[in-house]
Structure formats: C-alpha cells, structure tokens
C-alpha cells in the first residue's frame, strides 16, 4: 500500500517538473555563438560557401578571410543562407560593402547578427558536399552566372547541381532551363 502512495507521489513530482520545465524560456545559444557576431547572406540556393568566399576575396585579403567562419544555415526569415561569423568590426565592414554587390551575377540579401537574440533565429545546416565540390568547376560556374534570376530556374539548377555525379550532367539541365526561360520570355 505504501508503495502505491510512493508511486503516486513520484508521478506527481514528474508531472510538476515537466510543467515547470515547459514554462522556462528557451536555452540561450551555445557560448561560442554568444562570443561571435556575423552576417547572414541570403543568395540563390545554388550559391555555395566557396562562391561566398570568392566574392569576399574580391573585397578583402586572404588573411582577413581566414578570420571568418562560414556555415550554411536557415533563418527565421529565409530558408537557405550562408552564415559568416566574424568580429564586430568585420560585420560593420561587410554590411557597408556587400549591399548592391552580385554573387555569380545574382542579387542577395544580408542581415547582420549583432545581438544575442539574433542567434535564436539561426539553425545551422550541413553543406551539400556535391554542390561544394562542383563550385570550382568552370562549367558549373558558367551555369550559375547565366542562370535566369527567377525562382523556378534557380530551383531547377540547384536540383541539377545537388543530384549530379559529375559536372557534365548539369549542362543538359541548364540547357533545358534556358530553353524554358526563353519560351516564357517569348510568350510575354
């Protein structure tokens, strides 16, 4: 009999503990993120970390780029982004230099991460190894540079890059994108 009372007491404590835990605010981001500032770039989905580094090398030197940490992430406002973690002075510099630039001939949005609460909107993602491995290929770069700037074309080129086993498999998909885009443009 006393064992049954003890079980009831333990279950009550568990329920109260779970209820109290649900009322707690979400945990803060990991300490390493609290120490960092950053910039979120929202480019077309076929843009890779390599492409962003290449863009930044047109503005900064190698030693400056070495100070930065790059990751893929999702953000509350945007699904696909490239996160650049940087010292505060670099965030200010990037926010003054990046707006208006193009990455592979495409526009992108930027958002600074300068407050602890900004990190609550960030979820880190794994980079697509296939897309990153093709980023240096001349053929793939050419496809990115010439891809129409409409969501359907960007999505189709992203799928072609992510699913290819070699860079030459991307060209037929790119030609189909260009053909479909041309047909649409002629109908307008």
Q: For 32-67, what is each residue's pLDDT tens digit? A: 543 568 999 999 999 999 999 999 999 999 999 998
Domain assignment present for residue 6? The answer is no
Same domain membership, residue 107 and residue 69? yes
Q: Are residues 50 and 115 in the same domain?
A: yes
Cβ neighbour number for residue 56 with a 10 Å cutoff: 23
Q: According to the model, what pLDDT value does residue 17 have?
A: 46
Report if residue 39 sits inside a domain. yes
Residue 109 belongs to a domain with what CATH number? 3.30.70.330
User: pLDDT grade, residue 111 (50/70/90)?
Assistant: very high
Please indicate, yes or no, whether residues 72 and 149 belong to a single structural domain of this protein: no
Q: How many residues does the chain have?
A: 188
**112 and 136, same domain (yes or no):** no
69 and 117 within one domain:
yes
If we measure between CA atoms, which residue out of 137, 12, 25 comes closest to residue 4?
Answer: 12
Is 24 inside a domain boundary?
no
Q: How far apart are CA 125 and CA 128, in angstroms?
A: 9
C-alpha to C-alpha distances, 90 to 17, 95, 171, nearest whole angstrom: 44, 8, 37
Share of the chain above pLDDT 70, in %: 78
Pure H helices in 23-168? 31-34, 49-57, 62-65, 88-97, 129-134, 138-146, 151-163
Into how many domains does the chain fold?
Answer: 2
Whether the CA torsion 152, 156, 161, 167 is positive or negative: it is negative
Answer for the pair 100, 134: CB distance below 8 angstroms, yes or no. Answer: no
| Predicted confidence band of residue 116 (pLDDT cuts 50, 70, 90) | confident
- Cβ-based burial of 174 (10 A; exposed 0-12, middle 13-18, buried ≥19): buried
In this structure, the answer to whether residues 143 and 105 fall within a common structural domain is no
Last residue of a domain, one of 84, 100, 125: 125
The answer to whether residue 11 sits within a structural domain is no
pLDDT number for residue 61:
93
Task: Specify whether the CB–CB gap between 39 and 86 falls below 8 A.
Answer: yes
Domain boundaries, position 86: 31-125
């Amino acid at each position: 009999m006393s064992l049954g009372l003890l079980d009831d007491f333990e279950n009550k404590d568990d329920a109260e503990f779970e209820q109290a835990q649900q009322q707690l605010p979400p945990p803060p981001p990991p300490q390493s993120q609290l120490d960092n500032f950053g910039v979120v770039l929202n480019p077309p989905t076929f843009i890779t970390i390599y492409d962003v580094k290449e863009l930044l090398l047109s503005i900064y030197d190698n030693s400056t780029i070495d100070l930065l940490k790059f990751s893929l992430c999702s953000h509350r406002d945007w699904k696909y982004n490239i996160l650049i973690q940087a010292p505060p002075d670099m965030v200010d510099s990037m926010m003054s230099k990046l707006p208006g630039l193009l990455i592979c001939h495409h526009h992108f949005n930027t958002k600074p991460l300068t407050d602890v609460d900004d990190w609550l909107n960030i979820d880190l993602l794994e980079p697509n190894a296939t897309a990153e491995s093709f980023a240096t290929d001349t053929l793939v770069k050419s496809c990115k540079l010439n891809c129409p700037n409409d969501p359907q074309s960007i999505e189709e080129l992203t799928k072609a890059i992510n699913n290819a086993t070699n860079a030459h498999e991307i060209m037929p998909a790119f030609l189909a994108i260009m053909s479909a885009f041309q047909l649409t443009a002629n109908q307008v």
